[in-house]
């Protein structure tokens, strides 16, 4: 009997302890509730009642962070990327679609210093060593030409530009690389591109740019025993061909007031500008400071002026005097350019291409070429170099996308395929 009572007492004690613990808990809960706060346990119960037993997004995030040590799961990253419109492409087909949308589409025409996050490829990232702003499309064409398929010997002879009677290979385009002397075929393609804009698109019908082929005979003449007059006649015939290729009639030629003639002589580019309105023959040369010491213009340019004079005269005889003013009435003048830099010889072709598109008048005291004044300021020289490097990238893209380039669509297709294959996920 005594043992039974002891057993009952122990049960009572246990019950008493539990009841006291329960009272303590109830007391704690009541205190929390009085303070207006809910216990974690009560929150969980209420959440389960409200969501039908499902976990809330916040709860899921907390559990994911605990399981992954604070790192986001791939699924979570994909959802966030989709919400931002930045889904990472997984397959070559997806990469190609995204590339064409972002780079070759309208978005690719916006100036930018940075690459979009999905362009994480060895051939893309950090290759364009320029400070100026270029569009995504311009950077894409640049990197594709400069680094794409370098291990394939056949690609160096691949035709990138084909227009009228001229073709430029990948090797020609690679001469646009920073610090390189550009190929004369690039300057010639640029002249054809500008003429299409001037005349077919009605941008400036009173201006025309020849290619370097017109004056090529001058360099060949010094290495040949042929009659110099043969080179003159060939140059005049070349003039006529280039006018005809652009569809210019005699009436159109008579209305030309500015005739640009690029010269590639002894590895240097400069321009002659025949200004028939103001009766001037201007010379645009980024190395014009070489003339210090009262060196005559005729001596510096090694007979190019005389050769051009003979070519113009021959053309006038052959085609019934199409120009407004006889060549011998044009006064020779070296155009003052504040951007001239006698220390920069490698960018002479870029200067020439820029002046071919921007130059308008010889009679002015100087030509505002849109570049900073050089002088002796080293910082301005660096700024100028950055602008010239940027133009190399822009000119490459413009030639590829030129309306007269028959290979434009092929190059764009190759670019898309190359990007899809090379992108690292």
φ and ψ at residue 175, rounded to 5 degrees: -70, -10
Task: Give the span between the Cα atoms of 110 and 263, in whole angstroms.
Answer: 35
Three-state DSSP at 357 gives: helix
Q: What is the mean pLDDT of residues 322-328?
A: 81
Q: Over 70: is that where the pLDDT of 22 sits? A: no
Question: pLDDT, tens digit, for every residue of 48-93?
Answer: 556 565 666 566 666 665 665 555 555 555 545 444 445 555 666 6
Three-state DSSP at 344 gives: coil
pLDDT at 84: 46
Half-sphere exposure of 168 (CA within 13 A, CB side): 30
Q: Over 60: is that where the pLDDT of 36 sits? A: no
Helices (H) and strands (E) in the chain, counts: 16, 11
What is the DSSP annotation of 263-299? EEETTEEEEEEEETTTTEEEEE-TTGGGGTTT--HHH
Q: What is the mean pLDDT of residues 333-345?
A: 77
Q: Are 361 and 326 in contact (CB under 8 A)?
A: no
- CB neighbours of residue 171 within 10 Å: 14
Global pTM value: 0.71
pLDDT at 370: 62
- CB neighbours of residue 72 within 10 Å: 14
Contacts of 149 (CB under 8 A, 6+ apart): 155, 418
Question: pLDDT, tens digit, for every residue of 353-365?
Answer: 998 988 766 554 5
Q: Are 266 and 249 in contact (CB under 8 A)?
A: no
Question: pLDDT, tens digit, for every residue of 103-135?
Answer: 666 555 666 554 444 444 443 433 344 456 788
Q: Parallel, antiparallel, or unpaired: how do β-strands 268-275 and 280-284 relate?
A: antiparallel
Instruction: Domains for the chain: give ranges and CATH numbers.
Output: 127-422 (3.40.395.10)
């Amino acid at each position: 009997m005594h043992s039974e009572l002891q057993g009952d007492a122990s049960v009572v004690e246990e019950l008493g302890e539990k009841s006291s613990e329960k009272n303590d808990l109830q007391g704690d809960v009541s205190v929390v509730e009085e303070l207006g706060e809910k216990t974690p346990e009560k929150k969980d119960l209420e959440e389960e009642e409200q969501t039908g037993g499902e976990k809330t997004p916040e709860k899921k995030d907390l559990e994911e962070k605990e399981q992954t040590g604070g790192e986001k799961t791939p699924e979570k990253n994909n959802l966030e990327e989709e919400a931002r419109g930045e889904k990472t492409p997984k397959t070559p087909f997806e990469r190609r679609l995204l590339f064409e949308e972002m780079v070759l589409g309208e978005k690719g025409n916006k100036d930018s210093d940075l690459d979009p996050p999905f362009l994480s490829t060895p051939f893309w990232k950090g290759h364009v060593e320029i400070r100026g702003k270029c569009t995504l499309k311009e950077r894409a064409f640049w990197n594709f030409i400069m680094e794409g398929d370098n291990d394939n010997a056949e690609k160096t002879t691949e035709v990138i530009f084909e227009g009228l009677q001229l073709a430029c290979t990948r090797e020609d385009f690679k001469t646009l690389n920073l610090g390189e002397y550009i190929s004369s075929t690039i300057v010639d393609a640029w002249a054809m591109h500008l003429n299409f804009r001037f005349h077919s698109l009605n941008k400036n019908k009173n201006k025309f740019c020849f290619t370097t082929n017109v004056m090529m005979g001058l360099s060949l003449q010094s290495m040949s025993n042929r009659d110099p007059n043969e080179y003159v006649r060939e140059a005049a015939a070349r003039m006529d061909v280039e006018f005809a290729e652009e569809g210019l009639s005699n009436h159109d030629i008579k209305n030309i007031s500015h005739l640009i003639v690029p010269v590639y002589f002894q590895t240097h580019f400069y321009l002659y500008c025949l200004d028939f309105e103001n009766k001037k023959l201007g010379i645009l040369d980024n190395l014009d400071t070489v003339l210090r010491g009262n060196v005559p213009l005729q001596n510096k340019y090694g007979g190019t002026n005389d050769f051009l004079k003979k070519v113009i005269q021959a053309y006038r005889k052959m085609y019934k005097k199409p120009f407004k003013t006889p060549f011998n009435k044009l006064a020779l003048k070296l155009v003052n350019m504040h951007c001239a830099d006698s220390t920069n010889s490698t960018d002479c072709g870029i200067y020439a291409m820029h002046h071919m598109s921007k130059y308008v008048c010889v009679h002015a005291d100087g030509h505002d070429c849109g570049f900073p004044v050089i002088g002796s300021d080293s910082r301005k020289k660096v700024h100028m170099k950055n602008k010239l490097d940027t133009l190399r990238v822009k000119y490459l893209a413009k030639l590829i996308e030129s309306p007269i380039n028959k290979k434009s669509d092929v190059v764009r297709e190759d670019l898309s395929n190359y990007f899809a294959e090379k992108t690292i996920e």
